Amino acid sequence: MTTELKNSRPTSLLKLDQVSKVYGEGDTEVTALYPITLDVKEGEFIGIVGPSGSGKSTLLSIAGALLSPSKGNIYVSDQNITSLSEKEMTDIRLKRIGFIFQFANLVPFLTVKEQLIYIAKLKGESKKNADKYAAHLLKTFGLSHRINHYPRQLSGGEKQRVAIARAFMNNPDLILADEPTASLDSKRAREVVDMMKHQVKKNKKAAIMITHDEKMLDVCDRILTLRDGKLLTPNEI
Ligand SMILES: Nc1ncnc2c1ncn2[C@@H]1O[C@H](COP(=O)(O)OP(=O)(O)O)[C@@H](O)[C@H]1O
Ligand SMILES: [Mg+2]
């Protein structure tokens, strides 16, 4: 019996239930998302594609508790986070979510290792654990020889790999990436995406990646297409 229950996984890491978003009001009102329902299971790598302005970043921001929806509910690991306070949302982000954006946004006056340690400090990890995990991640992302470098001493690809390592530093269940490879050449882009996939599969996390680069979509288990704020069904694509 117990075995059967265990096998009934994979667990849901993120659920959007009829989530919609309207920006502004009156004359300036823009419907960025019409009601969207989505369930992301552990171990899943999801791609989001769609033209500029179709609502991709809005969807990712809502999924990552950076933005509140106008309607609908959001569940992170089965916890309803829709009506949490700002402080509680920050806590969810810190504990459960790793963000990667197009630009690395590293802190200029921190070394590579310090960029990661900083996250662990926010989370209240011991220095010893933080040091150990940072070293492990930097090795995984091929950055062991750069740990004491500052961002200005790194190439674009290295900076982005630091940003990705940093996104994993809080050991998040859910990785949300908005055009993570847009500033990289195709060789680096491939490396970065493969590393993300490896982390997702090996450590039973989930990832949602927005990309314009069709070559990167082969890592995805599912690809969602947005157009004018709506998820297209396969026969609409
Ligand atoms: N903060 C905002 N205020 C008003 N409108 C916004 C805001 N952010 C995005 N929008 C609008 O919402 C729509 C979807 O935007 P976005 O989610 O950024 O699309 P994408 O990431 O697919 O380019 C667009 O029409 C955009 O102009
Ligand atoms: Mg966008």
Task: With respect to residue 6, please indicate whether it lies within any of the assigned structural domains.
Answer: no
Q: Does the global pTM surpass 0.75?
A: yes
Task: With respect to residue 4, please indicate whether it lies within any of the assigned structural domains.
Answer: no
Q: Whole-angstrom Cα distance, residue 29 to residue 25?
A: 4
Residue 195: φ, ψ to 5°: -65, -40
Q: How far is the CA of 9 from the centre of ligand 2 (A)?
A: 32
Local confidence pLDDT in tens for the 237 residues of the chain: 445 555 555 689 999 999 999 999 999 999 999 999 999 999 999 999 999 999 999 999 999 999 999 999 999 988 999 988 999 999 999 999 999 998 899 999 999 999 999 999 988 999 999 999 999 999 988 899 999 999 999 998 899 999 999 999 999 999 999 999 888 888 888 988 998 999 899 989 999 999 999 999 999 999 999 999 999 987 888
* Closest ligand to residue 55's CA: 1
CATH of the domain at 144: 3.40.50.300
Alpha carbon distance, N-terminus to C-terminus of the chain: 42
CB of 32 within 6 A of ligand 1: the answer is yes
Residue identifier of the C-alpha nearest atom 14 of ligand 1: 55
Task: With respect to residue 3, please indicate whether it lies within any of the assigned structural domains.
Answer: no
Q: How far is the CA of 54 from the centre of ligand 1 (A)?
A: 8
Task: With respect to residue 1, please indicate whether it lies within any of the assigned structural domains.
Answer: no
Q: Whole-angstrom Cα distance, residue 17 to residue 12?
A: 13
Task: With respect to residue 7, please indicate whether it lies within any of the assigned structural domains.
Answer: no
